[in-house]
Amino acid sequence: MCMKAVQVTFDEALLERLDRDPAVRERGRSAVLREAAAAYLVRKEADVISDRYRAGYGDRVELDAELDGWAGEGAWPLD
Asked whether residue 21 is domain-assigned, the answer is yes
Q: What is the mean pLDDT of residues 34-43?
A: 96
The full length of the chain comes to 79
pLDDT reported for residue 75: 72
pLDDT reported for residue 51: 86
C-alpha closest to that of 36 among 49, 16, 21, 48: 21
Q: Is 70 exposed, middle or buried (0-12, 13-18, 19+ CB in 10 A)?
A: exposed
**Residue type at 21 in one-letter notation:** D
Q: What is the mean pLDDT of residues 8-29?
A: 96
Asked whether residue 37 is domain-assigned, the answer is yes
Q: How far apart are the first and last CA of the chain?
A: 37
The residue range of the domain holding 61 is 12-66
Asked whether residue 7 is domain-assigned, the answer is no
Is the pTM value of this prediction over 0.85? no
Give DSSP secondary structure letters for 7-32.
Answer: -----HHHHHHHHHSHHHHHH-HHHH
Asked whether residue 3 is domain-assigned, the answer is no
- How many domains, the chain? 1
Asked whether residue 59 is domain-assigned, the answer is yes
Asked whether residue 56 is domain-assigned, the answer is yes
Q: How does pLDDT run across 43-71, given as a tens digit for each residue?
A: 999 999 888 888 887 766 666 677 777 76
Q: What is the mean pLDDT of residues 9-14?
A: 97
Asked whether residue 75 is domain-assigned, the answer is no
